[in-house]
Amino acid sequence: MLFSRKSKDHLVRCNVLTYWQSTLSGLIQPRNVYDSLIPLHLITKCVGLSPFNYNILNEKPLYQTSLLGSSYSFAIMILFVGYYIYAVEERDESTDSNKVARSIDMYHLYGSIIVMSACIILNSYHQKTLIQAVKSLNEADLNMAGYSSKISWKKSRNLIFGYFSITLAVLITCEMLNCTMFLRQVGTLTTYCLLMCYIPMVINSFAEAQFVSYILLLKQRFAILNDELRSLITQKKYLPTVKITKVGPVINREENRPKPIAKSLICVRQMHSQLCEIGALLNKSFSLQILLNTGDVFIGFTTLAYYCFDGCMKLYLNEDGSNLYNTVTTGVWTLVKLSRLLTLTLSCSIVKNEAHLAGHIIYKIDNRYESELSSEIYSFGKQIIHWNLKFTAFNFFDVDMSLFYAVVSSATTYLMILLQLDIANKQIEKSMEINRL
């Protein structure tokens, strides 16, 4: 009995050691999409955004749903929300008479924590969909192994790690310069403020970065498919020839024949459909998180821009309460919010354009009017139109550069309204002071 227990303990230790050795080996030298996603999985796992487990079964990595991982995500969410409520009770109350500013402060106080909690819950709810998307992406990589352009998993790993590192560094630098929750009230900064502001903001940014990282992997695969299609443009159709030779050993010349264009086109079309399906799964996994994050960024960008313009006007008029440092840091925060939205919309636009680019390339293929090719080209074109790959925020609106332009124009309109309300409030206050005198 004792020997059996020792053997089991030794086996468990060996399995754990093998697991971490394989994980470390995959992190250093990625061999598949799972290895390139190790930095993403570890970072988001710590903050509760990746409740599923990274396992190795028969020397093959895979993601699996985990009740323990989901429990961990909910536990850290509940603990932080409890801490947050306690910190809110301990904070100094705002005495600003400006109704617009007070409303903005209330949103900054509760908006980010609500979005953060929703992202953690939704990521746990959609973990099966995301696991299926990554599994399909790994299968697509295996099917694309014979293409002339190769997938660079090391480059993907480096880009993901760099993206998250830059996001983390920018947010903590800006937060140390001035707390985004109390930009105009330097006196309200307390020992609780850094965690109150920083943790929800980081988790919300990581939820957005998680989605962007996955779709950029998709963009890399679409680019390889488009390179394969471009190689068909100049590829000449194989024409069998008759040549008299001396009788000798049978030589198999089939291996030297180029792959028929129609057959290559069918393979690329099937891969394109598979990648579009993966894009639909990713959008299903993150669509509601995108909607909440986009709304949070839009409100944050608008309110911070309001603070920035208000501070500039106070500095220009040399009013009491003007603060150059606060105004500059508010402008920096405004750019950070805008850059988050730009990164999201630009990434979605790039992936969508790369997927639709195949529809332009196929009509440049040589001999495209031949019966053998024309039917395949027609089917491919109809398939691209049918999928119409795009990313939406829970089907409320498309996430692309048109959204970025719409947000900037709408924010400008709302900003003018807020400034007019502020001017009206100041005029009322001045008239009340005159009446008192």
What pTM was estimated for this model as a whole?
0.85
- Single-letter code of the amino acid located at 329: T
Q: In this structure, what is the dihedral angle of CA atoms 127, 132, 134, 137, given to the nearest 10 degrees?
A: -160
- Is the alpha carbon torsion for 12, 18, 19, 21 positive or negative? positive
Task: Count other Cβ atoms within 10 Å, centred on residue 326.
Answer: 22
Is residue 389 a contact partner of residue 352, using CB atoms and an 8 Å limit? yes
The rounded distance, in Å, linking the Cα atoms of 46 and 53 is 12
Give domain limits for the chain.
68-235+259-436
- Is the alpha carbon torsion for 287, 293, 296, 302 positive or negative? negative
* 437 residues of the chain, pLDDT tens digit each: 544 554 544 444 555 666 677 778 878 888 899 999 999 999 999 999 999 999 888 878 889 999 999 999 999 999 999 988 887 776 655 555 566 666 767 777 788 899 999 999 999 999 999 999 999 999 999 999 888 888 999 999 999 999 999 999 999 888 888 776 555 443 334 455 667 788 899 999 999 999 999 999 999 999 999 999 998 886 554 444 444 444 444 444 444 444 578 888 999 999 999 999 999 999 999 999 999 999 999 988 988 888 888 888 888 878 777 788 888 888 999 999 999 999 999 999 999 999 999 999 999 888 878 877 888 899 999 999 999 999 999 999 999 999 999 999 998 888 888 777 777 776 676 677 777 76
Task: Count other Cβ atoms within 10 Å, centred on residue 194.
Answer: 14
Place of tokens 């996994």: 285
Token representation of residue 72: 């961990």
